[in-house]
Structure 1
Amino acid sequence: MPFECPQDVANDYESLLTNTNIVDYDVIIYAGNNNREIYAHSFVLRTRSQYFRTEFSNGSFNRENGNFIFNLPNITPQLFNMILRFIYCGKIDLDQLLAGSDILNLLIAVNEINIQRLIDYIQEYLIKNKDDYVQQNSIEILEKIHQNNAFIVLQNICIKKICEDPQRLLNSSNFNSLSTSLLALLFNRDDLPLDEIVIWDNLIRWCRAQHSSIPQDPTQWNNDNITNMERTIHRFIPLIRFCHISPENFATRVFPFREILPNNLVNNMIQFNMTKNQQFNNDRRPPRCYIDSVIIDRNHIAVFANWIYRKDNSIYQKSLLQMTMKFFKSSKNNYLTFNACSKKKKY
């Protein structure tokens, strides 16, 4: 019968890391802005870390007094020591990091070093053990991680929390400074349950914040103002579902900004609002709606709405969609709950 002592091996490697008198180090890593020296052994880094193996192969280091020199200014010494311990002996203790922000920074640092197993573990730990931090800082977390697919699990959790309470987004002190890519990601969501005119108003607020010198009154804009605002808002125009903005709101809150909108869009929406003829509406997306169910999704809701209201087209008034949602929702036990209405629609 084979006999293994993996724990003894791990302990020996940990001793090698913590006691440099046993075997002389040949790697110096300068971590953080203060360039604190951290010592390591090249044979361990080559063997245990794909990141360092690649760095050694590419010659991405300096040599000084026979030592390999690496610079990691984006990772604090505390966090890198935790990563290095994991590289040496496969151990890490996240409980020593009390703040959720420290764990998030560790996650980003681990991604830089490209340790996928640790990325998955830290995401799971952060979600399960620092839920309050994720809940309160979901927007700030997304700003840091939304463009990296390695953090997709944490991204989805943050997006879910924002969609559950979209005022968290609009009331954020960081709203006006959000990146274009993050705002586009959120405003493109089907499950962001905000009135379309509210999304439009806040999009204009964000665009104005990017050009603080432009007058608030669009009738006072000169050609340069119009050009700058048009370039800023251009990416977001396809994300706005103008067909779900009431004619009154379109006339008073969208039309004043017609100079930065495509002419065909403005003309089509004017004709659509006047006639309700679907030939003037190229946008067949339903209203946004957050569905907290493990049984049904937006496609089911569309079908149910057609059945109930005997509609053939795919455009629904928001009130109908919300009314349909009262019928179907998932309970905590993942069973479908049916809520009967006191009044029945007569046909």
Structure 2
Amino acid sequence: MDNKLLPKLSQNLIEILNDDEYYDITIEVGKDPYVKVFRAHMVILHYRSPYLKRMLSTNKKKNDGTLVQIKLPNILPEIFEIILRYIYGGRLSLEDYDISDIIKILDAANELSLQELVTHLQSFLIENKANWMEENFDLVYQTSFKNNSFLELQKYCTNLISEEPDKIFKSPNFSSIPEKLLLPLIQNDNLQMDEVQIWERVIKWGLAQNPALPSELTNYSKDDFKTLKNSLQQCIPFIRFYNLTSKEFMDKVLPYRKLLPKELYEDLLITFLKLSDPDSKPTNKSKPRNRKERTRSRQQKPKYKPVRKGEYDSDDSEQSY
């Protein structure tokens, strides 16, 4: 019986949004030149959004009858309209919106501290839009790591990148990802990629951060190497150089030796020169990646287990030389 009565209540609350008489607050949403003003009711906003509750605590209703006004410049008006209907009626039909809009709704819900909606949107994307998220992995990955509110998306992305690292390493936008997103990738123990490929992608990323560097390595000056080294100084400690073969080290790392700390380079050189087989690797010198046979098809979803806030642990940050 309770469930049968709720739709009518929800509809009546949404109808209040059209009230011309009893609203007591206006909300200016967006930035010039695209700004829209919404009318609302302080009591509903106060109890439905912790973020708006904090804002309203400093904007108490004025005794002279003047309306309270707050501004939300970081949210698009069309997205806030969707959110506002959810705040009033507790309903949101996600099938009515493009996935890119759902990502925007997720961002807005997080800004307004609508944690219940944030959790619901993440679950909806993971359970229903896996193919789209794989095709737009750059956007999803960067969105998920904007802050620690999107824990379920973070877990999903971490699992996916471990099993199919090409989703981001070979994507057209790989070179533009920020360093704070690259570091967790190369630290991942379960990354299903050869170490030499990881090294090549990291070099590619570093070069993209410095487009003024010469195109040919033979034309590099001492300062050029120093510039590239500065860009990669946070990444190099997490490359597991001892997991390379002797040939890979000679072909791919030796030309960039000036990027490495002196002690590391000297030890690597001694270690690999001792190997008689160019396809052999040093033993017990570096923690291996947990490589496994790939059984997941493109159409299958990665294993997903919802996580709660505080349960998600980032990858171990110890150095991985």
Question: Shorter-chain TM-score category?
Answer: 0.7 to 0.9
Separation in 2, partners of 1:58, 1:196: 54
Counterpart of 1:208 in structure 2 is 207
Counterpart contact for 1:110–1:119, Cα < 8 Å: yes
Counterpart of 1:267 in structure 2 is 266
Letter of the structure 2 residue corresponding to residue 77 of structure 1: P
TM-superposed CA distance for 1:127, in Å, is 1.4
TM-superposed CA distance for 1:8, in Å, is 4.7
TM-superposed CA distance for 1:79, in Å, is 1.6
Runs of 4+ in 1 over 6 A off after TM superposition: none
Separation in 2, partners of 1:165, 1:49: 38
TM-superposed CA distance for 1:22, in Å, is 4.7
Counterpart of 2:154 in structure 1 is 155
TM-superposed CA distance for 1:267, in Å, is 0.8
Separation in 2, partners of 1:237, 1:103: 37
Separation in 2, partners of 1:260, 1:281: 24
Counterpart contact for 1:191–1:291, Cα < 8 Å: no
Higher mean C-alpha deviation, range 227-236 or range 148-157: 148-157
Letter of the structure 1 residue corresponding to residue 16 of structure 2: L
Normalised TM-score (structure 1)? 0.74
Q: How does 1:166-315 map to 2 (within 5 A)?
A: 166-275=165-274, 283-290=285-292
Q: How does 1:38-187 map to 2 (within 5 A)?
A: 38-59=38-59, 66-97=66-97, 99-187=98-186
Distance 1:69 1:284, change over 3 A: same
Higher mean C-alpha deviation, range 79-88 or range 254-263: 79-88
Gaps of 5+ in 1: 294-331, 333-347
Choose between structure 1 and 2: higher helix proportion: 1
Separation in 2, partners of 1:5, 1:20: 22
TM-superposed CA distance for 1:172, in Å, is 0.9
Counterpart contact for 1:139–1:162, Cα < 8 Å: no
Distance 1:31 1:117, change over 3 A: same
Counterpart contact for 2:26–2:37, Cα < 8 Å: no
Cα deviation, 1:200-239, whole Å, max 9, x if unaligned, reads 1111111111111111333432233222211111001111
Letter of the structure 1 residue corresponding to residue 288 of structure 2: P
Counterpart of 1:24 in structure 2 is 23
- Equivalenced residue count is 286
Q: CA RMSD in A?
A: 2.9
Separation in 1, partners of 2:147, 2:50: 19
Counterpart of 2:37 in structure 1 is 37
Greater relative CO (CA pairs within 8 A, separation 6+): 2
Structure having the higher Rg: 1
Separation in 1, partners of 2:61, 2:131: 41
Separation in 2, partners of 1:151, 1:137: 17
TM-superposed CA distance for 1:31, in Å, is 3.4
Percent identical = 29
Separation in 2, partners of 1:58, 1:39: 18
